[in-house]
């Protein structure tokens, strides 16, 4: 596993979204990173919302790459939930990715990030 901060100061050449549960980040140096959730059993984790334009992250060094984890407001729809925000910025703009994880409380609701090449 890698930290999202690994992308700090790197320049992205592309971002590919696969469904609502995988993103691939390709750097100009040829490194490829995957953001996803390693499914275990009884949990669901998905990319709920993208605030901003992913194109703003292409072609300029990332000046911000951070992860913020919060508990969402209480709900009767799940026993346990986690919101994970990924905040990125270049000189062209800001993008926030909001991932949602829900489970019965016994399984991971986190987002995984790793280098894939």
> Per-residue pLDDT tens for 68-93?
998 877 766 667 888 999 999 999 99
* Residue-level pLDDT at 77: 63
Residue 117 — pLDDT band, cuts 50, 70, 90? confident
Could you tell me whether strands 22-27 and 32-36 are parallel, antiparallel, or unpaired per DSSP bridges? Answer: antiparallel
* Residue-level pLDDT at 86: 98
> Per-residue pLDDT tens for 1-28?
899 999 999 999 999 999 889 999 999 9
* Residue-level pLDDT at 30: 96
The full set of domain ranges for the chain reads: 4-115
């Amino acid at each position: 596993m890698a930290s999202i901060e690994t992308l700090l100061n790197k320049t992205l050449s592309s971002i590919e979204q696969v469904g609502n549960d995988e993103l691939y980040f390709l750097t100009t140096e040829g490194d490829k990173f995957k953001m996803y959730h390693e499914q275990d059993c009884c949990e669901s984790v998905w990319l709920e919302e993208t605030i901003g334009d992913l194109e703003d992250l292409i072609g300029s060094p990332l000046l911000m790459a951070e992860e913020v984890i919060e508990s969402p407001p209480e709900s009767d729809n799940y026993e346990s939930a986690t919101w994970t925000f990924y905040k990125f910025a270049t000189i062209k703009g800001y993008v926030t990715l909001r991932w949602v994880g829900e489970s019965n409380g016994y399984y991971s609701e986190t987002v995984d990030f790793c280098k894939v090449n």
